[in-house]
């Protein structure tokens, strides 16, 4: 069995091993994250990409142990700086959250508390984790707003979230996440609901802060364009499992898994003239989590699926370019066309 660290060029700050997180109802178990493996190198960015419902956000919440009932982490390891945080007490986790590992949540308008000023919300981290006085913490809050590019920071700390634009609120969320100089930042869809100009500014800000602070980032997104712009490695998830895990340049140059190719094909292209060619789509729909396919979970939508794919679930294995892929096509057991070229389906 391959290890997530096999494709890395340097030591990881975080390694997730066989992570399993499920949600339980009276009738069935929903395996939201089912045996996920990946690693994040120091000072680099890992993108986690996939459609809605693929398990991206649940994976990030599992890392911070923020899963609430009826959800539960039922297996695996999450090694942060070599220590399994699943074995730490809740008191120990409170010291890690917001201090060593921080998170930017999806929607800043709902993530920020409307009855507190942005300065009060940023300063909370300083007072909890660094024992600062209220006055000192507020001063540092203004400095954080300046760091993330908000003008007139001394005035902005006194304002409430509804008084700021969407882009400014997202910058406030970044300021809160970076307040205690975390070693790992988890960004869950950080540019959702922002216009393209503001998206570009937020992504550029995060890259600049990473270079200046040397932190590692997990970028959770459904947008492969964001992955291409910001990430060094990428884990493609489908129905709770990683189906392709590779260096970003390899995924865009030579994608292996049919699902990855489908995602790339569905991206609008602005660099070439496709004439009247229609934008491609992935046929079918995501299966219900309480009725998962017996074999490969992508098999019902895959144009290359054979009987083997519908009967047995493949493992994540090393591919010929050194990256990792969960697909029967690249194994000795493949019972389909030996000359199949998955990447040939991609529009170029």
pLDDT in tens, 148-183: 889 999 999 999 999 998 889 988 998 998 888 899
> pLDDT digits over 32-62, tens only?
999 999 999 999 999 999 988 899 999 999 9
Per-residue pLDDT, 271? 56
Per-residue pLDDT, 196? 82
Strand order, beta sheet including 29-41: 29-41, 12-24, 71-80, 83-84
Percent of the residues in the chain that have a pLDDT greater than 70, as a whole number: 94
Lowest mean pLDDT among 91-95, 315-319, 326-330: 315-319
Top-confidence residue, 289 or 94: 94
Note the pTM of the prediction, 2 decimals: 0.91
For residues 158 and 141, what is the distance between their CA atoms, to the nearest angstrom?
10
Domain ranges of the chain: 110-180, 255-345
Strand order, beta sheet including 317-318: 101-104, 184-188, 216-221, 45-49, 233-238, 241-247, 324-325, 317-318
Torsion of the alpha carbons at 317, 329, 264 and 249, rounded to the nearest 10: 40
For residues 27 and 294, what is the distance between their CA atoms, to the nearest angstrom?
19
Residue pointed to by tokens 């729909």: 285
User: Is the pLDDT assigned to residue 274 strictly greater than 80?
Assistant: no
Structure tokens at 221: 């997104």
Structure tokens at 143: 């400095």
**Which positions ≥6 away from 317 have C-beta within 8 Å?**
2, 324, 325, 326, 330, 331
Q: Which of 47, 46, 51, 16 is nearest to 34 (CA)?
A: 16
Q: What residues pair up with 317 in beta bridges, in sequence order?
A: 325
> pLDDT digits over 228-244, tens only?
989 999 999 999 999 99
> pLDDT digits over 80-122, tens only?
999 999 999 999 999 999 899 999 887 766 789 999 999 999 9
288 falls in which pLDDT band (50, 70, 90)?
Answer: confident
Mean pLDDT score of the chain: 89
Per-residue pLDDT, 272? 55
């Amino acid at each position: 069995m391959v290890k997530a660290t096999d494709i890395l060029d340097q030591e990881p700050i975080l390694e997730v091993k066989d992570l399993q997180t499920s949600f339980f109802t009276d009738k069935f178990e929903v395996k939201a994250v089912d045996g996920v493996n990946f690693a994040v190198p120091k000072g680099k960015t890992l993108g986690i990409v996939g459609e809605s419902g693929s398990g991206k956000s649940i994976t990030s919440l599992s890392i911070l142990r923020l899963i609430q009932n009826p959800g539960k982490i039922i297996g695996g390891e999450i090694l942060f700086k070599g220590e399994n945080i699943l074995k730490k007490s809740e008191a120990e986790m409170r010291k890690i959250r917001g201090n060593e590992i921080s998170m930017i949540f999806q929607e800043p308008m709902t993530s920020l508390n409307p009855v507190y000023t942005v300065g009060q919300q940023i300063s909370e981290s300083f007072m909890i984790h660094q024992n600062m006085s209220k006055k000192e913490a507020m001063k540092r809050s203004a400095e954080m707003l300046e760091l993330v590019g908000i003008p007139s920071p001394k005035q902005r700390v006194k304002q409430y979230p509804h008084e700021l634009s969407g882009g400014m609120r997202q910058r406030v969320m970044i300021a809160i996440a970076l307040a205690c100089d975390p070693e790992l930042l988890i960004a869950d869809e950080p540019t959702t609901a922002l216009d393209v100009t503001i998206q570009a500014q937020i992504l550029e800000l995060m890259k600049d802060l990473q270079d200046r602070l040397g932190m590692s980032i997990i970028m959770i997104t459904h947008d492969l364009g964001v992955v291409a712009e910001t990430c060094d490695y990428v884990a493609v998830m489908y129905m709770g499992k990683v189906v392709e895990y590779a260096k970003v340049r390899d995924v865009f140059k030579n994608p292996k898994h049919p699902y990855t190719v489908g995602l790339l094909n569905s991206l609008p292209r602005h660099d070439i003239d496709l004439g009247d060619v229609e934008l491609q789509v992935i046929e079918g729909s995501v299966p219900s989590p309480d009725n998962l396919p017996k074999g490969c979970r992508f098999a019902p939508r895959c144009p290359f699926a054979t009987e083997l794919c519908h009967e047995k679930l493949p493992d994540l294995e090393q591919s010929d370019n050194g990256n990792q892929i969960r697909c029967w096509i690249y194994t000795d057991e493949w019972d389909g066309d030996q000359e199949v070229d998955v990447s040939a389906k991609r529009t170029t």
